[in-house]
Amino acid sequence: MATVLSRPRATTKPTARASERGLVDPRAVFGKRQRRQVVPRALQRLLGPVLLVALWQILSTTGVFDERTVPPPTRVLSAGIRLIADGSLQEHLFTSLLRVGYGLAFGLVLGLGLALVAGLSRVGENFVDANMEVLRAVPNFALVPLLIVWFGISEVPKITLITLAVAVAIYINTFSAIRSVDAGLVEAARSFGARRAELIYRVIVPGSLPGFLVGLRLALTASWLSLIFAETINAKRGLGRMMTDAREYFRMDVVFVLIAVYAILGLTSILIVRFLEARLLTWRRAYDGD
């Protein structure tokens, strides 16, 4: 009677067989990607600014930088503490934040509304898109004289300047994102009987959300840049007013304090957008470096 010999089981691990064939086991890659980091990613991103400040301090200590024009970080820190102690920094900062807040609110509504009108309708595109492209091409500070003539030197031209900058950034990126939605997805939704409102809510809005968040990031940056020009319009309070006074009296330490404040506000804006991206774009997997 013939005996049937069973094939011996392979004792080699999958990773070993894959390495012999020059392949990579995906389980090992995913395990490496999911490994918990010792230092949080947010702190790792601060490595560049910390090294820059350390280099700045070294060059100031060795005399490479003239303290009259480039004060050392310790002197800038002392000036910042002094401004916080007397309350002047908080007062001017609150005024600037209020202007940016109003400009962001109005600009978001205006830019998003125009992007939806132009992106969802060819007729709307004919009326809106060319005008927004022209407004995008005009430098922001070139509108300051016109705004002063039209609205005077009140808060209206300051907030209007920020609103226009935010609206343009939101519109350009959101309109482009709407028109970049895959036409195959739109046709598939229509074939399943989706009405226009459901098509916009289920397909177009999720598909254009990444582009809107990119526009939001650019809009936040544009709002702080526009604030600098806006606060040159006879502003009695604000970071721009502090910058003007410090320049006139050659207070370079105060100038560097205000530059640091602008930098912190810009980084905070970027962190807010990244937080929104992490919460709203959980369905999207993207390459995050090695």
Confidence band, pLDDT 50/70/90 cuts, at residue 286: low
| φ/ψ of residue 112, rounded to 5 | -70, -40
Cα 248 to chain centroid distance, Å, stands at: 32
> Quick count: other Cβ atoms within 10 Å of Cβ 122?
9
For 154-193, strand residue ranges (E) read none
Instruction: State the first-to-last Cα distance of the chain, in angstroms, to the nearest integer.
Output: 60
Q: Compare 230 and 105 and report the one with higher pLDDT.
A: 105
**CATH number for the 90-280 domain, one of 3.20.20.140, 2.60.120.1440, 1.10.3720.10, 3.10.450.30?**
1.10.3720.10
Residues 235-250 have a mean pLDDT of: 86
Mean pLDDT estimate for the chain: 81
User: Which amino acid is present at 240?
Assistant: G
What are the sequence ranges of the domains in the chain? 90-280
Is the per-residue pLDDT at 7 higher than 70? no
Assess contact for 238 and 96: CB atoms under 8 A: yes
Q: What is the largest CA-CA distance in the chain?
A: 109
pLDDT digits (tens, 9 = 90+) for 79-126: 999 999 988 899 999 999 999 999 999 999 999 999 999 988 888 888
Q: What percent of the chain has pLDDT over 90?
A: 23
Q: Of the ranges 17-26, 32-41, 136-145, 175-184, which one carries the lowest mean pLDDT score?
A: 17-26
For 58, half-sphere exposure in the C-beta direction (CA atoms, 13 angstrom radius) is 6
